[in-house]
Amino acid sequence: MRLENLRVGLGITGSFCNFDKIENLIKELKAEGVSTILPIVSNIVRNESTRFYAKEDLLKMLEESTGNKVIDSIVKAEPVGPKNLIDILLIFPCTGNTNAKLTEGITDTPVLMVAKSHVRNNKPVVIAISTNDGLGQNFKNIGSLINDKNYYFVPFRQDDHINKPKSLVYEYSYIIDTMVCAMQGKQLQPILAK
């Protein structure tokens, strides 16, 4: 168990096509010894149902599978850092929008508020990027965060280089390994997945 007794914040942003992996990820985190999983959702995740998931079903699944209430407002998110409630924050999936706001220090969603207060405590944030403009306008933001202390990326690859040539997506199989390395202050390499 490589993440034994860790308290994990699970920040979920609006890359809806990845939501089918969340429940399995929670099971894997528990199997690795995680003691606490605090689910945190962005505003769009809290407010919108999509063809991939009904918001009510997602929020219910998060609370039932983690045993914790969903943090779904900035007011609820603000105490996470000052009260030192988590050891590591995993943003899964992390949209290009959230990635850009992290780079610029914008805190207008619960996930971003937790990230801000968590980094203030000098603790790791792991980013599982999923964006259609990762090799476009958002490329500079990814580069900026890779270079910043406390931010670690799950290795990523082009999603569909023919039909979506600027799209990037995390490699799911590296999430746990990235978290283990991040707790040691290291970026899992190679960062470009095959």
In degrees and rounded to multiples of 5, residue 185 shows phi and psi of: 75, 25
Q: What is the pLDDT of residue 63?
A: 98
The tens-digit pLDDT sequence of the chain (194 residues) is 899 999 999 999 988 888 999 999 999 999 999 999 999 999 999 998 888 889 999 999 999 999 999 999 999 999 999 999 999 999 999 999 999 999 999 999 999 999 999 999 999 999 999 998 899 889 999 999 999 999 999 999 998 889 999 999 999 999 999 999 999 999 999 999 97
What is d(CA 103, CA 45) in angstroms, rounded to the nearest whole number?
A: 21
User: What would you measure as the largest C-alpha separation in the chain, in angstroms?
Assistant: 46
Q: How many CA atoms lie within 13 A of 152 on its CB side?
A: 27
Q: How far is residue 127's CA from residue 141's CA, in Å, rounded to a whole number? A: 12
The pLDDT, as a whole number, for residue 194 is 77
Q: What is the pLDDT of residue 87?
A: 98
pLDDT at position 140: 95
Q: Are 97 and 14 in contact (CB under 8 A)?
A: yes
- pLDDT of 7 reads 98
What is the value of pTM for the model shown?
A: 0.96
| Domains observed in the chain | 7-183 (3.40.50.1950)
